[in-house]
Amino acid sequence: MTALPPRLILASASPRRRELLGQLGVPFDVMAADVTEHEESSTDPRVMVAHNAALKAEWVAVRNPDAIVLGADTTVFIDGHALNKPRDVADARAMLRRLSGRTHTVFTGLAVRRRSDGLQLDEGVASEVTFKVLDEATIGAYLERVHTLDKAGSYAIQEHGYLIVERYDGSLTNIVGLPLETTKLLLTHCGLLA
C-alpha cells in the first residue's frame, strides 16, 4: 500500500495565485490566512514580503500541522517605498502616474511550513518591470478595464498589460504574484513534485 502524498494548502485568497499554482499539476486546497499583514511602505520590501508570506503560512500550518503550507506575498517597489494595494481609485491613479515611464521591482516572498516535522523553507524572487510613459487617458482606460484595488502597485501585467508595460526582466509569474519556477523547486524539495 503506497502512502498518500502530503496535503498541500495554499495560504492565500488570491485567485491569481490559485490559478498559477494549478499549472504545476499538484492537488491543493486553499485556506486564506486571517492575519494582519505588515504594509509599512518604508520597510525593506524583501523583509516585508518574507514576513507576510511566513505569517500567512504559519497561521494556516498551526491549524493543519500535517499539511505542507505555501504562503506568498508580493509588492511593488520604487523610490525606496513599497506600493501595496491602493486604498481607492484616486490612490490607484496616483500609483500608475508614479510608475509611468520608469522601472520598478516586483518582490515576492515565499514560505513553506509544516508544523508536524518543523519543515521551514523561505525564498524571495525579484523581477523588474518598465512602464510606458502613461498619459491621463491611458491611465483612465486601464482603470476602466482592470479592477486594481486588490493588486500591489495598482496593476496586473496579465490584464491589458500591453496598455502600460513596455518590458519586463525576470519571472513573469512572479510579477503576477507566484513565481512558478521557484515554487516548483520548493515543492520538489518537499516531495510533492518529482
Residues 54-90: tens digit of each pLDDT: 999 999 999 999 999 999 999 999 999 999 899 999 9
Per-residue pLDDT at 138 exceeds 90: yes
In order of their start, the domains of the chain are 8-189 (3.90.950.10)
- Buried b vs exposed e over 161-190: b needs ≥16 C-beta within 10 Å? beebbeebebbebbbbbbbbebbeebbeeb
What local confidence, expressed as pLDDT, does residue 2 receive?
Answer: 54
- Using the structure block, give the residue that is written with the C-alpha cell 498518500: 4
Residues 82-135: tens digit of each pLDDT: 998 999 999 999 999 999 999 999 999 999 999 999 999 999 999 999 999 999
- Using the structure block, give the residue that is written with the C-alpha cell 510579477: 175
Q: Kind of pairing, strands 68-78 and 8-10? A: parallel
Spot the catalytic one: 73, 88, 117, 135: 73
Strands (E), 79-174: 81-83, 103-114, 119-131, 165-169
Strand-pair partners of 119:
114
Q: 121: closest CA among 66, 190, 178, 73?
A: 190
Average pLDDT (141-162) is 95
Q: Residue 194 — very low, low, confident or very high, per pLDDT cuts 50/70/90?
A: confident
Whether residue 29 lies in the annotated active site? no
Q: Residue 38 — very low, low, confident or very high, per pLDDT cuts 50/70/90?
A: confident
What local confidence, expressed as pLDDT, does residue 171 receive?
Answer: 98
Residue 101 near residue 138 (C-beta atoms within 8 A) = no
CA 25 – CA 154 distance, rounded (Å): 29
Considering the entire predicted model, what is its pTM?
0.93
Per-residue pLDDT at 3 exceeds 70: no
CA 194 – CA 24 distance, rounded (Å): 11
Count of CB atoms within 10 A of residue 158's CB? Answer: 15
CA 7 – CA 27 distance, rounded (Å): 8
Residue 163 near residue 143 (C-beta atoms within 8 A) = no
Per-residue pLDDT at 143 exceeds 70: yes
Average per-residue pLDDT in the chain?
94
The percent of residues in the chain predicted with pLDDT above 70, rounded, is 97
